[in-house]
Structure 1
């Protein structure tokens, strides 16, 4: 019976081996190796397939193991039943050994089954994690793909905008080139028109001068003829009509009788030569000849003599501080009789101020320039104002009219200085276009042009000479009769202003190297430099002036103070620190010597005196 059970057990084991072996050897059906949803989905499908395949393998093993256990239980029962009747034949030791061997074999199989189940659970957990990671990665891929599409759309939009901007830029570039070409043509045409206008004006002026000279010669010839005719005419005067005024001039009775006997009459100079008609004709002729086509009237020709300054008074304090303009002030000038002051600034107007009892009283405004004012000056008669402007012109006003009387155009860059020459009908201008021009106010035309190698910053007039200061640190003297440079001086720095003494013997220049240079016009080598601690030239247009008696020099500094030097000693006489909060641009000393006015770049004007 035991042998039968043992045989049954062996047959069952063989059956298990036979059934398990083909189960392991049987290959699972494989899916075609084609990727349907990408490599990630392919990996997921492979993992699922492996799980199913291994599960199927273990399912067969478990079913075989269950059958084996059932068979073992039946065999044990059969063996117990068989052992009881055959206790005599079979010893207990052999049965116990067989039972232990069966238990050992069954335990090993159960342990292997548990180990395989644990591995199966581990693989299931790993597979779940891989599946979750795969889902997350797929979601990230979707998000990244959406972002990529959005960025590509933005790139396409930017490319379209760039294309549009490039087309617009090309169109603007073509328009700019066309505009530049047109501008160059118009500029050349304007230059040619200016040359033609100047030539036509010169021709017209020459023709007018010829006609005027011809008419003047004709009038003079006619007048000479009338005078000669009146001189030759004879007048007979009878003795009753003669009324002797003195004993020396009255004829005696004897001489009258002798003359009567001879039948002669006495010759006298015709009274027509001194008649009121002839005198009025001569007066009108000379008045017309003197006035000609001048911009000034007889009323302007009247000369108001200035007050004579015997000794200038050094100012000590500020009498008045006011905001004279809306913007910075560049120029200031007293009239010859010291009762009127003119200021010009970057607000494009010239303002007139009446000096009365130590105060500046606003009197009027002169309009006209389209840009800022660089310099102002009164004519010798004090009835006209001349100003230079940034708008490449010089403007002339009458004091009784705020509208410009005359505008002198022809410079190509801003005019830095405009001065009356010794002849009140001529004006000299200097510009940054490196030219100095002489203008005839009667003809309103430029009569001389002097080309210079450097920009002109300021100029003054003396007799038949023009003295100009330049940015190349040179001071040049020009002879207006020959239009040539006679001589010049070298300055320590860029020249910002010039002023000439009242006796026309000394020349004052202000330089950018923070010094004033004084030159004697009679001795070209005699120069003096005036410096002071703290004095700094604030700009390329800072103005320095003489006192009316020539004893002092005054200039404004970049620190807002006014410095005054004494000429005889060369030392600083005084420093006026109060009144300005910005760089002082110009100073003017009244001809009477009583007042000094300074202006700065922040529209402020200060009246100084020692009262």
Structure 2
């Protein structure tokens, strides 16, 4: 009996142990079930999120395709309008030429006929000569027809050339005798939908070009200190980094973030051609002295020379550093770089003639109107002027409060070369006197943004007659809005 009781106690203990284990397993199962349910719920949520994002991605792709399609349709429409306009113009010219009467000198023809009869054998051997004379006589009073034929053969000879021989020569431009220091902004306007990266006046100061992140270059007529929109130049796939007018003011060259430079005529909104070949953004594009060539600098550490007649690169200069800006003279190219050096290149041999070291990254370069002085702006918060006749002679310009806000800050000479102008990170415009080396004035609060991405300050090389006191300054600040103004107009000067 005792043995049975002892075994019963043992069995009861085992039973209790098994019950405890069953409870533990049950609790473990409950915990796993709760975790499973949580994971399943999270899976459903993530699956739903994935589905929504997939739908959103499809909608964005369709929207992008639709926008591209609309942009293509818009561009095709513009091209068709331009083609139709050219056809109408050509038709009118042909009709005008057809209505023109051609007068032939009868006396000359009679004399020519008599001479031809007396020299029958010679004229039989050389009929082309007589026909040539008759043609010249007939067209002597119709220069338009002759010019049209000449233009046709000239166009065929040039092939894809974008420049006529007349455009390869500098047109005479006026000289600014003196510039006055501005004191106020004459005009403020919202010019672009997005940030503005570049501004430039034409040689006559009556036309202003602005370009920025919205991929568009806008041309503005400057009249009485006011800006009036003339036309928008399309064609760039990304933002504009630099703008340059040729000396005649009829052609525009622009650099772009899309690794190319573009060429327009001011009377045509579509680019005449696009220069491609750089592997990174093009930071600067400038006309060379002859106008038949242009120079581009890029973040891909190269400087390229392009032939406008062929719209092709004819020379590539490999550099060891990011090129931030370039300027061109008659026989050499000057480039500024992030390795704190300014390099002088012989454009005929593509060799570096000289290097000028600075204390900071070079953000911009500018040549004085007489091409005797070079201005550089760098990240060490100073401007330097190098005398190109004595390249080791340098003057440094600083000011309390002036800060070079970014790697593309611009500084320029005034039209007469007596002042330096630069924009600061605090939103002010600083003006130095080149002759004295002192800060002439600081124009605070000219712009609503003290910190900005790309400040651009540009001064037009104004065309002025003797006896007038002229100069104008345009400052543009960049971050979605242009605040700008040509600070001196002709009316302002005459009133003074």
TM norm structure 2? 0.70
**2:363, 2:379 within 8 Å by CA — same for their partners in 1?**
yes
Asked if 1:450 is matched to 2:450, the reply is no
Distance of 1:287 and 1:156 partners within structure 2: 82
Which of 321, 327, 341 in structure 1 is aligned with 2:194?
A: 327
1:594 aligns to what? 471
1:604 aligns to what? 482
Deviation at 1:379, TM superposition (A): 1.2
Deviation at 1:436, TM superposition (A): 0.4
Deviation at 1:313, TM superposition (A): 1.4
1:152 aligns to what? 32
Asked if 1:509 is matched to 2:376, the reply is yes
Task: Kindly provide the CA deviation profile for residues 187-242 of structure 1, in whole angstroms up to 9, marking residues without a partner as x.
Answer: xxxxxxxxxxxxxxxxxxxxxxxxxxxxxxxxxxxxxxxxxxxxxxx9x99xxxxx
Task: Kindly provide the CA deviation profile for residues 434-487 of structure 1, in whole angstroms up to 9, marking residues without a partner as x.
Answer: 110001111111000000011100000000211000000111111111111111
Which of 179, 183, 198 in structure 2 is aligned with 1:316?
A: 183
**1:321, 1:579 within 8 Å by CA — same for their partners in 2?**
no
1:30 aligns to what? 5
**1:597, 1:605 within 8 Å by CA — same for their partners in 2?**
no
Distance of 2:228 and 2:329 partners within structure 1: 33
Which stretch has the larger CA shift, 412-421 or 580-589? 580-589
2:274 aligns to what? 407
Which stretch has the larger CA shift, 450-459 or 282-291? 282-291
CA 1:161–1:489: 2 relative to 1, 3 Å: farther
Which stretch has the larger CA shift, 450-459 or 582-591? 582-591
Q: Structure 1, unaligned stretches of length 5 or more?
A: 1-25, 44-137, 164-233, 238-271
2:158 aligns to what? 292
1:3 aligns to what? none
Asked if 1:482 is matched to 2:349, the reply is yes
**SS in structure 1 of the partner of residue 26 of structure 2:** helix
Deviation at 1:394, TM superposition (A): 0.4
Distance of 2:170 and 2:374 partners within structure 1: 26
Deviation at 1:30, TM superposition (A): 1.7
Deviation at 1:308, TM superposition (A): 2.4
**SS in structure 1 of the partner of residue 455 of structure 2:** strand
**1:589, 1:596 within 8 Å by CA — same for their partners in 2?**
yes
How much is the aligned-residue C-alpha RMSD, in angstroms? 3.6
Highest Rg: 1 or 2? 1
Distance of 1:529 and 1:288 partners within structure 2: 55
**1:476, 1:489 within 8 Å by CA — same for their partners in 2?**
yes
Distance of 1:330 and 1:480 partners within structure 2: 28
CA 1:359–1:142: 2 relative to 1, 3 Å: farther
Which of 340, 348, 366 in structure 2 is aligned with 1:473?
A: 340
Distance of 1:287 and 1:313 partners within structure 2: 48
**SS in structure 2 of the partner of residue 147 of structure 1:** helix
CA 1:146–1:455: 2 relative to 1, 3 Å: same
Distance of 1:362 and 1:32 partners within structure 2: 108
CA 1:537–1:277: 2 relative to 1, 3 Å: farther
Distance of 1:485 and 1:470 partners within structure 2: 14
Deviation at 1:604, TM superposition (A): 1.7
Asked if 1:336 is matched to 2:200, the reply is no
Equivalence map 1:490-505=2 (5 Å): 490-505=357-372
Equivalence map 1:526-541=2 (5 Å): 526-541=393-408
| Count of residue pairs the alignment pairs up | 386
Asked if 1:425 is matched to 2:292, the reply is yes
Distance of 1:436 and 1:308 partners within structure 2: 30
Distance of 2:17 and 2:217 partners within structure 1: 93
Distance of 1:323 and 1:304 partners within structure 2: 33
Task: Kindly provide the CA deviation profile for residues 491-549 of structure 1, in whole angstroms up to 9, marking residues without a partner as x.
Answer: 12100000001111000000011100100001011000100010000111111100111
CA 1:549–1:144: 2 relative to 1, 3 Å: same
Q: Structure 2, unaligned stretches of length 5 or more?
A: 44-111, 116-132, 463-469
**1:36, 1:42 within 8 Å by CA — same for their partners in 2?**
no
Deviation at 1:368, TM superposition (A): 1.2
From the two aligned structures, give the one with the greater helix fraction.
1
Task: Kindly provide the CA deviation profile for residues 247-295 of structure 1, in whole angstroms up to 9, marking residues without a partner as x.
Answer: xxxxxxxxxxxxxxxxxxxxxxxxx7xx768988899779966983431
Larger RCO (CA under 8 A, 6+ residues apart)? 2
**2:169, 2:291 within 8 Å by CA — same for their partners in 1?**
no
